[in-house]
A = this chain, B = another copy of it.
Amino acid sequence: MSSFFGENIRFSVFGQSHSEGIGVVIDGLPAGERVDTQRIAGFMARRAPGRNPGDTPRREADEARVLSGLLDGLTCGAPLCAVIENTDARSGDYEKLRHVPRPGHADYALQEKFHGFQDVRGGGHSSGRLTAPLCFAGAVCIQILERRGVTLRATITKMGDVEEARRRGDSVGGVIECVAEGLPAGLGAPMFGGVENRLAAALFGIPAVRGVEFGAGFRVASLLGSENNDEYYIENGHVRTKTNRHGGVLGGVTTGMPLVLRVAIKPTPSIALAQRSVDLRTMEETGLVIGGRHDACIVPRAVPVVEAVTACVILDLMMEGRL
Protein backbone atom coordinates (compact mmCIF):
# COMPACT_ATOMS: atom_id res chain seq x y z
CA MET A 1 0.00 0.00 0.00
CA SER A 2 1.74 3.07 -1.11
CA SER A 3 0.11 5.21 -3.68
CA PHE A 4 -1.07 8.06 -1.54
CA PHE A 5 0.39 10.84 0.52
CA GLY A 6 -0.75 13.72 2.69
CA GLU A 7 -1.95 14.14 6.24
CA ASN A 8 -4.78 16.66 6.14
CA ILE A 9 -5.44 16.33 2.45
CA ARG A 10 -5.02 12.83 1.10
CA PHE A 11 -3.86 12.37 -2.49
CA SER A 12 -4.49 8.85 -3.83
CA VAL A 13 -3.07 8.04 -7.25
CA PHE A 14 -4.23 5.05 -9.26
CA GLY A 15 -3.71 3.50 -12.66
CA GLN A 16 -1.11 1.80 -14.80
CA SER A 17 0.52 2.97 -18.00
CA HIS A 18 -1.76 0.74 -20.06
CA SER A 19 -4.80 0.25 -17.82
CA GLU A 20 -8.13 1.69 -18.92
CA GLY A 21 -7.56 4.84 -16.97
CA ILE A 22 -5.38 6.61 -14.47
CA GLY A 23 -6.35 9.23 -11.95
CA VAL A 24 -6.30 10.74 -8.53
CA VAL A 25 -8.64 11.14 -5.57
CA ILE A 26 -8.08 14.26 -3.47
CA ASP A 27 -9.77 13.96 -0.10
CA GLY A 28 -9.87 16.87 2.29
CA LEU A 29 -9.72 19.94 0.06
CA PRO A 30 -11.30 22.98 1.68
CA ALA A 31 -14.84 23.59 0.42
CA GLY A 32 -15.77 26.58 -1.69
CA GLU A 33 -12.54 26.82 -3.65
CA ARG A 34 -12.92 27.67 -7.31
CA VAL A 35 -11.15 25.24 -9.64
CA ASP A 36 -10.35 26.50 -13.12
CA THR A 37 -10.16 23.37 -15.25
CA GLN A 38 -8.80 25.29 -18.23
CA ARG A 39 -5.82 26.37 -16.17
CA ILE A 40 -5.37 22.81 -15.01
CA ALA A 41 -5.24 21.65 -18.61
CA GLY A 42 -2.62 24.28 -19.32
CA PHE A 43 -0.54 23.10 -16.42
CA MET A 44 -0.85 19.46 -17.43
CA ALA A 45 0.21 20.32 -20.96
CA ARG A 46 3.60 21.31 -19.59
CA ARG A 47 4.10 17.68 -18.60
CA ALA A 48 2.71 16.10 -21.77
CA PRO A 49 5.26 14.66 -24.18
CA GLY A 50 6.14 16.31 -27.47
CA ARG A 51 7.26 19.72 -26.29
CA ASN A 52 10.95 18.97 -25.79
CA PRO A 53 13.50 17.39 -28.13
CA GLY A 54 14.13 14.36 -25.87
CA ASP A 55 10.50 13.36 -25.36
CA THR A 56 8.79 10.04 -26.08
CA PRO A 57 6.68 10.03 -29.26
CA ARG A 58 3.72 8.60 -27.27
CA ARG A 59 0.79 10.99 -27.62
CA GLU A 60 -2.00 11.22 -25.08
CA ALA A 61 -4.70 13.84 -24.86
CA ASP A 62 -4.37 13.72 -21.06
CA GLU A 63 -7.84 15.08 -20.70
CA ALA A 64 -8.86 14.85 -17.08
CA ARG A 65 -12.53 14.21 -16.41
CA VAL A 66 -13.72 15.23 -12.96
CA LEU A 67 -16.11 12.62 -11.60
CA SER A 68 -16.79 14.13 -8.21
CA GLY A 69 -15.91 16.79 -5.70
CA LEU A 70 -16.87 19.84 -7.74
CA LEU A 71 -20.19 21.65 -7.88
CA ASP A 72 -20.53 24.55 -10.29
CA GLY A 73 -16.76 24.80 -10.46
CA LEU A 74 -16.27 24.97 -6.70
CA THR A 75 -14.97 22.30 -4.37
CA CYS A 76 -17.84 20.92 -2.31
CA GLY A 77 -15.96 19.18 0.51
CA ALA A 78 -16.37 15.72 -1.00
CA PRO A 79 -13.35 13.87 -2.43
CA LEU A 80 -12.41 15.18 -5.86
CA CYS A 81 -11.77 12.37 -8.33
CA ALA A 82 -10.26 13.02 -11.75
CA VAL A 83 -9.81 10.32 -14.36
CA ILE A 84 -7.66 10.32 -17.48
CA GLU A 85 -8.37 7.63 -20.04
CA ASN A 86 -5.44 5.78 -21.57
CA THR A 87 -5.91 5.99 -25.30
CA ASP A 88 -2.52 5.51 -26.96
CA ALA A 89 -1.31 2.41 -25.14
CA ARG A 90 0.53 -0.17 -27.28
CA SER A 91 0.90 -3.16 -25.06
CA GLY A 92 2.55 -5.41 -27.59
CA ASP A 93 5.89 -3.73 -27.07
CA TYR A 94 6.37 -4.90 -23.53
CA GLU A 95 5.26 -8.46 -22.90
CA LYS A 96 8.68 -10.01 -23.25
CA LEU A 97 10.09 -7.81 -20.51
CA ARG A 98 8.35 -9.71 -17.72
CA HIS A 99 11.22 -12.17 -17.56
CA VAL A 100 14.16 -10.01 -18.59
CA PRO A 101 14.36 -7.03 -16.24
CA ARG A 102 15.53 -3.76 -17.75
CA PRO A 103 18.56 -2.24 -16.03
CA GLY A 104 17.70 0.89 -14.09
CA HIS A 105 13.99 0.08 -14.02
CA ALA A 106 12.07 -1.39 -11.10
CA ASP A 107 11.20 -4.52 -13.14
CA TYR A 108 13.18 -7.00 -11.10
CA ALA A 109 12.29 -5.44 -7.75
CA LEU A 110 8.59 -5.50 -8.63
CA GLN A 111 8.81 -9.05 -9.93
CA GLU A 112 10.07 -10.06 -6.50
CA LYS A 113 7.53 -7.97 -4.64
CA PHE A 114 4.47 -8.99 -6.62
CA HIS A 115 5.59 -12.51 -7.53
CA GLY A 116 5.22 -11.86 -11.22
CA PHE A 117 1.67 -10.55 -11.08
CA GLN A 118 2.58 -6.89 -11.58
CA ASP A 119 1.50 -5.11 -14.75
CA VAL A 120 4.66 -4.78 -16.85
CA ARG A 121 3.08 -2.99 -19.79
CA GLY A 122 4.73 0.37 -20.16
CA GLY A 123 6.06 0.31 -16.64
CA GLY A 124 2.65 -0.43 -15.14
CA HIS A 125 1.89 1.51 -11.99
CA SER A 126 5.51 2.69 -11.78
CA SER A 127 5.31 4.45 -15.12
CA GLY A 128 6.08 8.13 -15.48
CA ARG A 129 2.59 8.33 -16.91
CA LEU A 130 1.28 8.35 -13.34
CA THR A 131 2.70 11.83 -12.99
CA ALA A 132 -0.21 13.11 -15.10
CA PRO A 133 -2.74 12.76 -12.25
CA LEU A 134 -0.11 14.19 -9.90
CA CYS A 135 0.01 17.26 -12.12
CA PHE A 136 -3.76 17.47 -12.01
CA ALA A 137 -3.69 17.41 -8.22
CA GLY A 138 -0.88 19.93 -8.08
CA ALA A 139 -2.66 22.27 -10.44
CA VAL A 140 -5.71 22.27 -8.16
CA CYS A 141 -3.54 23.03 -5.13
CA ILE A 142 -1.60 25.76 -6.93
CA GLN A 143 -4.83 27.64 -7.56
CA ILE A 144 -5.81 27.44 -3.90
CA LEU A 145 -2.32 28.44 -2.79
CA GLU A 146 -2.21 31.42 -5.11
CA ARG A 147 -5.31 32.84 -3.44
CA ARG A 148 -3.32 32.70 -0.17
CA GLY A 149 -0.34 34.45 -1.72
CA VAL A 150 1.80 31.37 -2.19
CA THR A 151 3.42 30.87 -5.57
CA LEU A 152 5.99 28.36 -6.74
CA ARG A 153 8.19 27.76 -9.71
CA ALA A 154 10.56 24.94 -10.62
CA THR A 155 13.49 25.27 -12.98
CA ILE A 156 16.24 23.05 -14.33
CA THR A 157 19.54 23.90 -12.69
CA LYS A 158 21.58 21.11 -14.26
CA MET A 159 21.08 18.82 -17.22
CA GLY A 160 23.17 16.68 -19.55
CA ASP A 161 23.36 17.25 -23.30
CA VAL A 162 20.12 15.67 -24.53
CA GLU A 163 20.83 16.00 -28.24
CA GLU A 164 24.17 14.24 -28.14
CA ALA A 165 22.78 11.50 -25.83
CA ARG A 166 19.71 10.87 -28.00
CA ARG A 167 21.79 10.53 -31.14
CA ARG A 168 23.77 7.77 -29.44
CA GLY A 169 20.68 6.00 -28.09
CA ASP A 170 21.57 7.13 -24.60
CA SER A 171 19.88 9.40 -22.06
CA VAL A 172 20.71 12.11 -19.53
CA GLY A 173 19.47 13.27 -16.14
CA GLY A 174 19.50 16.55 -14.28
CA VAL A 175 18.61 18.58 -11.25
CA ILE A 176 15.39 20.51 -10.73
CA GLU A 177 15.08 23.31 -8.22
CA CYS A 178 11.74 24.44 -6.89
CA VAL A 179 11.20 27.72 -5.07
CA ALA A 180 8.00 28.56 -3.22
CA GLU A 181 7.35 32.10 -2.11
CA GLY A 182 4.80 33.59 0.22
CA LEU A 183 4.80 30.84 2.79
CA PRO A 184 4.07 32.05 6.31
CA ALA A 185 6.65 31.43 9.03
CA GLY A 186 5.77 28.70 11.50
CA LEU A 187 4.48 26.10 9.05
CA GLY A 188 5.48 22.50 9.68
CA ALA A 189 6.66 20.78 12.83
CA PRO A 190 9.83 19.57 14.53
CA MET A 191 11.27 16.09 14.00
CA PHE A 192 9.32 13.72 11.73
CA GLY A 193 6.29 15.68 10.58
CA GLY A 194 8.16 18.68 9.30
CA VAL A 195 8.35 20.44 5.99
CA GLU A 196 11.45 18.56 4.81
CA ASN A 197 10.16 15.15 5.92
CA ARG A 198 6.85 15.47 4.18
CA LEU A 199 8.18 17.09 1.04
CA ALA A 200 10.93 14.50 0.70
CA ALA A 201 8.53 11.61 1.27
CA ALA A 202 6.32 12.88 -1.53
CA LEU A 203 9.06 13.98 -3.93
CA PHE A 204 10.71 10.55 -3.86
CA GLY A 205 7.40 9.31 -5.25
CA ILE A 206 8.23 10.96 -8.57
CA PRO A 207 9.86 8.32 -10.77
CA ALA A 208 13.62 8.75 -11.24
CA VAL A 209 14.20 11.01 -8.22
CA ARG A 210 17.40 9.89 -6.46
CA GLY A 211 18.03 12.74 -4.08
CA VAL A 212 16.24 15.58 -2.33
CA GLU A 213 17.90 18.52 -0.62
CA PHE A 214 16.87 21.82 0.95
CA GLY A 215 18.64 25.17 0.85
CA ALA A 216 22.37 24.65 0.48
CA GLY A 217 21.71 20.91 0.56
CA PHE A 218 24.73 18.65 0.15
CA ARG A 219 26.90 21.72 -0.22
CA VAL A 220 26.65 22.24 3.56
CA ALA A 221 29.35 19.59 3.92
CA SER A 222 31.85 22.09 2.50
CA LEU A 223 30.71 25.13 4.47
CA LEU A 224 31.72 26.52 7.83
CA GLY A 225 28.97 27.26 10.31
CA SER A 226 29.68 30.96 9.90
CA GLU A 227 29.16 30.58 6.15
CA ASN A 228 26.05 28.43 6.36
CA ASN A 229 24.18 30.33 9.06
CA ASP A 230 21.80 32.97 7.72
CA GLU A 231 21.79 36.08 9.87
CA TYR A 232 18.49 37.77 10.66
CA TYR A 233 17.58 41.35 9.94
CA ILE A 234 14.44 43.47 9.78
CA GLU A 235 12.93 44.55 6.47
CA ASN A 236 9.77 46.61 6.48
CA GLY A 237 8.94 45.36 9.92
CA HIS A 238 9.39 41.72 8.96
CA VAL A 239 12.05 39.30 10.14
CA ARG A 240 14.14 38.08 7.24
CA THR A 241 17.50 36.47 6.69
CA LYS A 242 20.21 38.22 4.68
CA THR A 243 21.04 35.03 2.81
CA ASN A 244 18.89 31.94 2.32
CA ARG A 245 21.17 28.94 2.65
CA HIS A 246 18.58 27.36 4.93
CA GLY A 247 16.12 27.36 2.04
CA GLY A 248 13.24 28.75 4.04
CA VAL A 249 12.99 25.90 6.51
CA LEU A 250 14.84 25.22 9.77
CA GLY A 251 14.23 22.18 11.92
CA GLY A 252 11.09 21.24 10.04
CA VAL A 253 9.44 24.65 10.28
CA THR A 254 9.27 27.50 7.78
CA THR A 255 10.93 30.84 8.44
CA GLY A 256 8.97 32.86 5.92
CA MET A 257 11.92 33.03 3.53
CA PRO A 258 11.49 31.38 0.11
CA LEU A 259 11.37 27.61 0.35
CA VAL A 260 14.12 26.16 -1.83
CA LEU A 261 14.48 22.48 -2.64
CA ARG A 262 16.22 20.47 -5.32
CA VAL A 263 15.68 16.96 -6.65
CA ALA A 264 18.11 14.84 -8.64
CA ILE A 265 16.54 13.14 -11.66
CA LYS A 266 18.40 10.16 -13.06
CA PRO A 267 18.86 9.60 -16.79
CA THR A 268 15.95 7.69 -18.34
CA PRO A 269 16.78 4.03 -17.81
CA SER A 270 15.16 3.07 -21.12
CA ILE A 271 17.96 3.52 -23.63
CA ALA A 272 18.32 2.20 -27.15
CA LEU A 273 21.77 0.75 -26.51
CA ALA A 274 22.19 -2.99 -26.04
CA GLN A 275 22.43 -3.94 -22.37
CA ARG A 276 23.11 -7.10 -20.37
CA SER A 277 20.44 -8.60 -18.19
CA VAL A 278 19.21 -12.00 -17.03
CA ASP A 279 16.32 -14.27 -17.94
CA LEU A 280 14.42 -14.92 -14.70
CA ARG A 281 12.98 -18.19 -16.04
CA THR A 282 16.27 -19.80 -16.97
CA MET A 283 18.38 -17.76 -14.53
CA GLU A 284 20.88 -17.22 -17.31
CA GLU A 285 22.43 -14.02 -18.56
CA THR A 286 21.12 -12.56 -21.77
CA GLY A 287 21.30 -9.48 -23.96
CA LEU A 288 18.51 -6.93 -24.03
CA VAL A 289 17.49 -4.25 -26.48
CA ILE A 290 14.62 -2.05 -25.37
CA GLY A 291 12.11 -1.09 -28.04
CA GLY A 292 9.07 1.08 -27.50
CA ARG A 293 8.86 4.85 -27.24
CA HIS A 294 10.96 6.66 -24.68
CA ASP A 295 12.29 10.01 -23.57
CA ALA A 296 16.02 10.61 -23.92
CA CYS A 297 15.60 13.03 -21.03
CA ILE A 298 12.61 13.42 -18.76
CA VAL A 299 13.97 16.35 -16.81
CA PRO A 300 11.97 19.04 -18.66
CA ARG A 301 8.75 17.06 -18.31
CA ALA A 302 9.49 16.50 -14.62
CA VAL A 303 9.61 20.25 -13.92
CA PRO A 304 5.84 20.71 -13.55
CA VAL A 305 5.65 17.43 -11.64
CA VAL A 306 8.05 18.78 -9.03
CA GLU A 307 5.96 21.94 -8.80
CA ALA A 308 2.81 19.85 -8.50
CA VAL A 309 4.04 17.61 -5.71
CA THR A 310 5.52 20.56 -3.84
CA ALA A 311 2.22 22.41 -4.10
CA CYS A 312 0.27 19.43 -2.81
CA VAL A 313 2.49 19.09 0.24
CA ILE A 314 2.50 22.81 0.98
CA LEU A 315 -1.28 23.01 0.88
CA ASP A 316 -1.41 19.94 3.10
CA LEU A 317 0.95 21.66 5.53
CA MET A 318 -1.17 24.79 5.50
CA MET A 319 -4.23 22.74 6.46
CA GLU A 320 -2.50 21.60 9.66
CA GLY A 321 -4.84 21.12 12.58
CA ARG A 322 -5.28 23.93 15.05
CA LEU A 323 -7.81 24.99 17.64
Contacts and interface: CB of A to CB of B under 8 A. Distances in A.
Given A201-B201, A210-B213, A220-B210, A124 B28 contact: no
Contacts of A3: 27, 78-79, 189-193
A38 interface: no
B112 A256 contact: yes
A175 interface: yes
A205 B211 contact: no
Contacts of A320: 321
Most buried by B among A67, A125, A211, A276: A211
A132 B290 CA distance: 43
Interface in A195-232: 196-198, 200-202, 204-205, 207, 209-232
Given A220-B266, A230-B103, A234-B283, A193 B2 contact: yes
A241 B211 contact: no
Contacts of A97: none
Given A192-B201, A228-B267, A267-B228, A280 B239 contact: yes
Contact of A20 (B67, B158, B186): B67
In the complex, which of the residues A10, A218, A223, A254 has the most CB atoms of chain B within 10 Å of its own CB atom?
A218
A110 B69 contact: no
A152 interface: no
Interface stretch (A44-52, A55-63, A113-121): A113-121
A277 interface: yes
A319 B19 CA distance: 26
Contacts of A283: 234, 237, 239
A173 B228 CA distance: 10
Interface-central residue, A106, A217, A241, by most chain B CB under 10 Å: A106
Contacts of A232: 101, 103, 108, 276-278, 285
Interface in A128-180: 130, 144, 148, 158-160, 165, 170-175
A239 B321 contact: no
A207 B77 CA distance: 17
Identify which of A5, A174, A197 gathers the most chain B CB atoms within 10 Å of its CB: A197
B76 A118 contact: yes
A71 interface: yes
Given A76-B124, A197-B205, 20 more contacts: A1-B189, A4-B193, A20-B68, A22-B67, A77-B119, A78-B118, A103-B231, A112-B185, A113-B186, A125-B190, A160-B223, A160-B224, A171-B224, A191-B205, A197-B200, A212-B213, A213-B213, A220-B265, A232-B278, A239-B278
18 contacts: A1-B27, A1-B321, A9-B321, A14-B25, A14-B78, A20-B68, A23-B67, A104-B229, A112-B185, A126-B191, A158-B222, A211-B213, A211-B218, A219-B264, A223-B267, A228-B266, A242-B276, A321-B321
